[in-house]
């Protein structure tokens, strides 16, 4: 069996490849032309998911191996709108990848979506799996693009594509150098650049648990099904209090209401653009952490054997990883 992985240079991608290398799996990765890929022992193919013709060699299978595609390539955005790359990569790119997977008779496909694509929570804001997605009912360009891409995957499943969709929540943990928004939050806290926090929180999940869930979906997941790979809700204050205990840094005492932070988000966005860092605060991000959304991973627990590690271990290991960079 050979694993085909798009988005292999991202946070989940690096963790996934490292995990599979330890299992001595056969791996083929897709990276952008000109990109230097750090891992040895893998087949590296250059291509762009938005340009279908560049993907053809990636799916070549002269040895008639069983191919398992894990589609991770995506643009994550915490802006409300305004970035055309989000639709181009997340929707058009997914369509291109899935079309070729279908044409080349890939044995199994794991499409990695997001809980942001889910629109049907109950009265207690608890979200469970759904198989039809409604871009018009979710907030922000990233969520809309993921919902639209999911519907395309589901349409091909009806035609015979052996695909499964997984929905991670807010991913945190090692294998990221501070480019993801959540790891950047921990890094800015450690470096002393974060002096206040916003009230609210989200469901934070360890990247290694997400990878384990993906691989268990390959092994045990049912074609045509969706699985939420979440953990539980943590307030931002809880996360940074744990970070304080792990690092010995002084805890942040000042908690700002979301309405107050929203006044300054335009300036914060400009500041992070100057620093060429992912912004910690945008109006979309504030609305997300201000929500009461919860995500049930009960289905993944029962069908896949999905589990979560302690968040204290996640934060400790994140800082250990950042110290090596």
Residue 116's closest CA among 96, 144, 149?
A: 144
pLDDT on residue 261: 57
pLDDT on residue 181: 81
pLDDT band at 280 (very low <50, low <70, confident <90, very high): low
55, exposed or middle or buried, with CB in 10 Å at 0-12, 13-18, 19+?
A: buried
pLDDT on residue 103: 97
* Structural tokens at position 17: 């490849």
User: For 304, phi and psi rounded to 5 degrees?
Assistant: -110, -20
Cα 281 from chain centroid (whole Å): 18
pLDDT band at 274 (very low <50, low <70, confident <90, very high): low
> Over the stretch 185-225, which tens digit does the pLDDT of each residue have?
899 899 998 888 888 899 999 999 999 999 999 999 999 99
pLDDT band at 112 (very low <50, low <70, confident <90, very high): very high
Query: Considering the chain, what is the average pLDDT of its residues?
Result: 91
- Residue 43's CB: how many other CB atoms inside 10 A? 12
Q: Is the pLDDT of residue 235 over 80?
A: yes
**What secondary structure letter does DSSP report for 324?**
T
User: For 84, phi and psi rounded to 5 degrees?
Assistant: -65, -20
Residue 169's closest CA among 27, 56, 63, 311?
A: 311
* Structural tokens at position 28: 């083929």
191, exposed or middle or buried, with CB in 10 Å at 0-12, 13-18, 19+?
A: exposed
- Find where tokens 């206040």 sit: 196
pLDDT on residue 283: 63
pLDDT on residue 272: 60
Q: How far apart are CA 306 and CA 71, in angstroms?
A: 20
Q: How far apart are CA 17 and CA 268, in angstroms?
A: 34
pLDDT on residue 314: 98
Residue 284's closest CA among 4, 78, 91, 49?
A: 78
pLDDT on residue 173: 97
- Give the CA diameter of the chain: 60
> Over the stretch 24-73, which tens digit does the pLDDT of each residue have?
999 999 999 999 999 999 999 999 999 999 999 999 999 999 999 999 99
User: For 44, phi and psi rounded to 5 degrees?
Assistant: -105, 125
pLDDT on residue 121: 82
Domains in the chain, please, with CATH? 2-177+202-232+293-309 (3.40.50.720)
| Percent of the chain with pLDDT strictly greater than 90 | 76
HEC sequence for 176-240: CCCCCHHHHHHHHHHCCCCCCEECCEEEEEEHHHHHHHHHHHHHHCCCCCEEEECCEEEEHHHHH
The model carries a pTM of: 0.92
């Amino acid at each position: 069996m050979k694993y085909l992985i798009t988005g292999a240079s991202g946070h989940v991608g690096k963790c996934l490849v490292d995990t599979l290398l330890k299992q001595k799996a056969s791996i083929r990765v897709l990276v952008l032309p000109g990109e230097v890929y750090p891992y040895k022992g893998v087949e590296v193919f250059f291509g762009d998911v938005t340009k279908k013709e560049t993907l053809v060699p990636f799916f070549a299978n002269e040895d008639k191996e069983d191919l398992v595609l894990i589609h991770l390539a995506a643009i994550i955005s915490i802006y409300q709108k305004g970035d055309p790359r989000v639709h181009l990569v997340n929707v058009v790119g997914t369509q291109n990848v899935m079309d070729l997977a279908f044409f080349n008779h890939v044995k199994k496909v794991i499409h990695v979506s997001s809980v942001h694509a889910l629109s049907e929570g109950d009265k207690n804001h608890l979200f469970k799996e759904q198989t039809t997605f409604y871009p018009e009912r979710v907030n922000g360009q990233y969520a809309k693009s993921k919902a639209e891409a999911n519907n395309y995957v589901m349409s091909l499943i009806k035609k015979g594509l052996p695909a499964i969709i997984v929905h991670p929540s807010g991913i945190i943990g090692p294998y990221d150098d501070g480019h993801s928004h959540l790891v950047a939050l921990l890094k800015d806290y450690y470096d002393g650049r974060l002096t206040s926090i916003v009230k609210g929180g989200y469901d934070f999940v360890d990247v290694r648990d997400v990878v384990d869930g993906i691989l268990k979906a390959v092994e045990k997941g049912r074609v045509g099904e969706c699985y939420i790979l979440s953990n539980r809700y943590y307030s931002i204050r809880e996360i940074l209090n744990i970070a304080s205990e792990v690092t010995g840094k002084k805890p942040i005492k000042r908690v700002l209401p979301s309405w107050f932070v929203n006044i300054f988000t335009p300036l914060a966005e400009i500041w992070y653009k100057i620093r060429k860092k992912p912004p910690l605060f945008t109006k979309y991000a504030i609305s997300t952490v201000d929500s009461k959304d919860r995500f049930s991973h009960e289905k993944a627990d029962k069908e896949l054997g999905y589990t979560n590690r302690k968040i204290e271990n996640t934060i400790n290991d994140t800082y250990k990883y950042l110290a090596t960079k």
